[in-house]
Amino acid sequence: MTSQLIDQFNRKINYIRISVTDRCDFRCVYCMAEKMKFLPKTELLSLEELDRIASIFISLGVEKIRITGGEPLVRKNIDSLFSSLSKKTQLKELTLTTNASQLKKKASMLKGSGVKRINVSLDSLNPTTFKKMTRIGVLENVLEGIEHAISVGFEKIKLNTVLMRGINDHEQFDLINYAIEHDLDISFIEEMPLGETDFERKITAISNKDVLEKIKGKYSISKISMTTGGPSKYWQIDGTKTRIGLISPHSHNFCEDCNRVRISCKGELFLCLGQEEKIELLPLLRDHPDNDQPIKEAIIASMKIKPISHDFDLKQSKPAVVRFMSHTGG
C-alpha cells in the first residue's frame, strides 16, 4: 500500500514507534531521573486503543511498527496486543525494543506473535557498572533473557549501547566481542538530551566519530548499505556475522531521511523525537469510538507540522526536550 503520509519535505512516513508504557523496571541514568513520577494508569492508552491506532496507521500505509516504552514487557496483558498485531496482514514488520529483563518469560510469546527483530538496551557487562547505569537492574536477568531469545529462534537481535565517558566507555570492545560471540549486531547511540537527569551530558557524551575510530583500530570492518528502517549506519565486522551500527544525532544529523513518527503511551503523536510538535490522539479516539475518519484526517494533517530536524545541542545547559525518553519511547 502506498503511504498517505507525506510530510512537507516530501518524506514518506511508513514506520511508527509506539510506546505502550512509561513505566520501567530499570532507571537508566541517561533515560530518566532516579525518582520518577509515572503517569496514572487512567491517562494511558488502553491496549484496545493502542491496537486501534496501529490499525489506523497501517490503513494509511505504515508498514513497520516498533513497540517501545518504558519497558514494554512490564505492561500488564501486553501479550494480547502482540497477538492482535500479528494478525494484521498489511504490516510487514513488527519489532520490539526492550531491556531484556522480561525476555526469559516473554521470548516464546514474542516469537509466536511474529516479532521479527528485537533490540536490547545493554550498556555494560560488568554487574557493578550495570547496576550504576540502571540503578536497579540485574545484569544476570538480562543476559539470560538474551540467551533465551536466541534459544527460541530469534536470529535478528541487536544490542543498543550508550557509551558514557568515565562510566562505561572502557567496555566498548567487551560489548562488541560479546556481540560477536553470540552472532548479534550492536549499535552505539550518541546520548540524547531528553529530560532532566542527574548528570551533565556534555561531560559524559561521546561522539560516534571517536567510537568509529577506535573500532577501526581494533577490527577489520567494511561499510555496508544495510538498513533496518531507522537511522543507523552499518559496518560489517569482517569474518563474523556481527554488524556495528552508529546512531549519531549529534555528529551526523540523520533527519533528512526520516521516515517515522512516535506515539506516546498517552496518545500523543510526536512528529519528531527531538522537538515538541505533537497532536493529541487520545481525545479523538474516545470522542469517535466507532469512526476512524477524524483520527485519520488529524494524522494526515499532522504531516504539515513535522519539522525538518531535531535541535539537539549538548552545549546547552537545559535538555532540548523536557520529556524523558521513557515517555516517548526510543
Flag whether 144 is in a domain.
yes
For the ranges 137-146, 248-257, 284-293, the lowest mean pLDDT is seen at 248-257
Flag whether 9 is in a domain.
no
What residues form DSSP beta bridges with 189?
247
What pTM was estimated for this model as a whole?
A: 0.91
Instruction: Name 321's Cβ contacts closer than 8 Å, sequence gap at least 6.
Output: 193, 194, 195, 273, 274, 275, 276
DSSP secondary structure code for residue 67 in this structure:
E
For the ranges 11-20, 36-45, 133-142, 261-270, the lowest mean pLDDT is seen at 36-45
Q: What does the pLDDT read at residue 158?
A: 98
Burial 264-284 (b: 16+ CB within 10 A, else e): bbbbbbbbbbbbeebbebbeb
What residues form DSSP beta bridges with 161?
188
**Each residue of 151-182: pLDDT tens digit?**
999 999 999 999 999 999 999 999 999 999 99
pLDDT level of residue 256 (50, 70, 90 thresholds):
confident
Instruction: Flag whether pLDDT at 39 surpasses 70.
Output: yes
For the ranges 21-25, 145-149, 250-254, the lowest mean pLDDT is seen at 250-254
Q: What does the pLDDT read at residue 32?
A: 83
**279 lies in which domain range?**
15-328
| Cis preceding linkage at 70, omega within 30 | yes
Flag whether 179 is in a domain.
yes
Flag whether 4 is in a domain.
no
Whichever domain contains 303, its CATH number is: 3.20.20.70
Which one of 29-33, 215-219, 225-229 scores highest in mean pLDDT? 215-219
Flag whether 184 is in a domain.
yes
C-alpha torsion sign, points 262, 268, 274, 276: positive
Flag whether 138 is in a domain.
yes
pLDDT level of residue 319 (50, 70, 90 thresholds):
very low
Flag whether 8 is in a domain.
no
Flag whether 3 is in a domain.
no
pLDDT level of residue 78 (50, 70, 90 thresholds):
very high
First to last CA, the chain: 26
Q: What's the domain count of the chain?
A: 1
DSSP secondary structure code for residue 206 in this structure:
-
